[in-house]
Amino acid sequence: MVNGVTLRRSPEGDLPVVVQVSGEAALFSRPELKVERVSYPVMTPSAAVGVLESIFWKPEMRYRVVAIEVLKPVRQFSIRRNETSDVAPLAEALKGSRRVDTAAHRDQRNAVCLRDVAYRIHAHVEVAAHADKPVAAYRDQLRRRVRKGACFQQPYLGTREFSAEFGWPDDTPRADVNEEIGIMLHSIHRDGQSAQPRMEWFAARVVAGVLSVPERGIELALPVEGQVV
């Protein structure tokens, strides 16, 4: 139990590592409203993994988020931006022969974002089969980097525009958030067997300011035999 929250232990019996992040704004787009974007009210596990990987990542390890504590009440704001609907084909992009023409393909899109957010992320570090160090070594390396404030790239909260501050967890109390959020992305897997990535989802619920993330999600779109995928 950490801060009054019962957390799933790792297979080795360890408690998760904790990183606290905050920012002036955040945008965790819901998959059904991702064009005229509407944010989930709290951070998603995939966004939390993005933050942790910005701080420390190696091919021998990956993060599995256990829980996210919500430290500030949910407040929203709305912005509209000019974006582009133009995409340069990969081959042309690699050659550098074509640039994205934003002015000719302007696409104005609205976003309902979150204002003034802070979260405590609890996550386990898992090591791959080819890892040459014990899991504790990677965990400690992450902790050292968090203490120093070191990162490979500045972490962000959902979208690159909203960069995040991160640091060692403190005893900030959780916000009184209790909400059914609906289906939320758990993780994305690319096992190479299909052109499409495999997505896992879970029914998200914040209870007393804690979003508990199950060990595994469910796959939403299950191809049925004989149907076009």
Residues that bind other proteins (CB under 8 A): 31-36, 38, 76, 78, 83-87, 107-110, 112, 179-183, 197, 199, 201, 203, 218-224, 227-229
Contact present, 93 and 21 (Cβ < 8 Å): no
Distances (CA, A) of 14 to 7, 62, 136, 188, 197: 10, 16, 9, 25, 30
Q: Residue 83 or residue 140: which is nearer to other proteins going by CB?
A: 83
Q: Residue 57 or residue 201: which is nearer to other proteins going by CB?
A: 201
Which structure tokens are listed for 192?
């190479």
Shortest distance (Å) from residue 205 CB to other proteins? 11
Shortest distance (Å) from residue 210 CB to other proteins? 18
Q: Residue 137 or residue 199: which is nearer to other proteins going by CB?
A: 199
Shortest distance (Å) from residue 133 CB to other proteins? 33
Contact present, 35 and 109 (Cβ < 8 Å): yes
Q: Residue 11 or residue 226: which is nearer to other proteins going by CB?
A: 226
d(CA 95, CA 111): 33
Q: Residue 12 or residue 101: which is nearer to other proteins going by CB?
A: 101
Q: Which of 48, 54, 69, 17 is nearest to 184 (CA)?
A: 48
Q: Which of 25, 53, 49 is nearest to 163 (CA)?
A: 25
The three-point CA angle 31-92-54 to 5° equals: 45
Distance, C-alpha 197 to centroid of its chain? 17
Shortest distance (Å) from residue 50 CB to other proteins? 14
Which structure tokens are listed for 9?
């232990």
DSSP reduced 3-state for 29: strand
Shortest distance (Å) from residue 186 CB to other proteins? 13
Q: Residue 135 or residue 206: which is nearer to other proteins going by CB?
A: 206
Which structure tokens are listed for 187?
């993780």
